[in-house]
Amino acid sequence: MIEADLDVEYETIPLAGNPAIWLESIAIRDFRNLERVDLELPAEGIALIGDNGHGKTNFLEAIYYFQILRSVRDARDVDLTRFDSAGFHISAITRSPAEHQLAVGFEKATRRKKVTIDGATPRRLSDALGALPSVMFSPRDLELVSGAPSERRRYIDGTRTYRPPLSERSSALPRQSRAPQRCAARCRPPWRTLG
């Protein structure tokens, strides 16, 4: 089912095996040149086909927005809002295999962004990074191979957006800091001479 002003065609393509996460449906409102897009995506995947300037990259950028919560093309959120619109909104349903509902919105007047995952608002925006694990390649990515090392470092840094919540990491820190003390009490250093 397509109800969209996205002027492209799509085809279902078969994939080997089951995807680890499936973007089942997406709704996009006032994001770049996309006024209203409602798509149900088959588990097999799709191929977007269309002329230049008809919204293919904007559609992919809207999906990837759930990964990094900003534009992949370094635009400000206010610039992602469709002309003469109050803001943008993107919502999605994913399966992994459980169903999850994701939503992100931006309001131009207040310059505020709001994210919900399964109806709950994360304490910090950074807790929502990677809500829809994805990778996006574009012609700009050729700079990774032919460009300066700083571009490669920037890309690698950007792909490491997912980290477990601090609550999960902080419980491991005391155990890690006590490990050398426990070992010192039980272990003999290999250089210790036997008398």
pLDDT at residue 144, rounded to an integer: 79
Q: Residue 87: CB partners within 8 Å, gap ≥ 6?
A: 30, 81, 105, 106, 107, 108, 109
Element at 186 (helix H, strand E): helix 166-186
Which amino acid is residue 17, in one-letter code? G
pLDDT at residue 1, rounded to an integer: 41
- The edge-to-edge listing of strands for the beta sheet with 99-107 is 2-4, 34-40, 22-31, 87-95, 99-107, 112-117
Q: What is the pTM of this model?
A: 0.68
pLDDT at residue 181, rounded to an integer: 58
Burial 100-127 (b: 16+ CB within 10 A, else e): eebbbbbbeeeeebbbbbeeeeeeeeeb
Closest Cα to residue 59, out of 92, 96, 85? Answer: 92
Token couple for 184:
């010192």
Per-residue pLDDT of the chain (195 residues), as tens digits, is 444 556 666 555 555 555 688 999 999 999 999 999 999 999 888 888 999 999 999 999 999 999 999 998 889 999 999 999 999 999 999 998 889 999 999 999 999 999 999 999 999 999 999 899 888 877 777 877 888 888 788 777 766 655 555 555 555 555 555 555 555 555 555 544 444
The structural domains of the chain, ordered by start, are: 2-136 (3.40.50.300)
Closest Cα to residue 93, out of 20, 32, 19, 40? Answer: 40
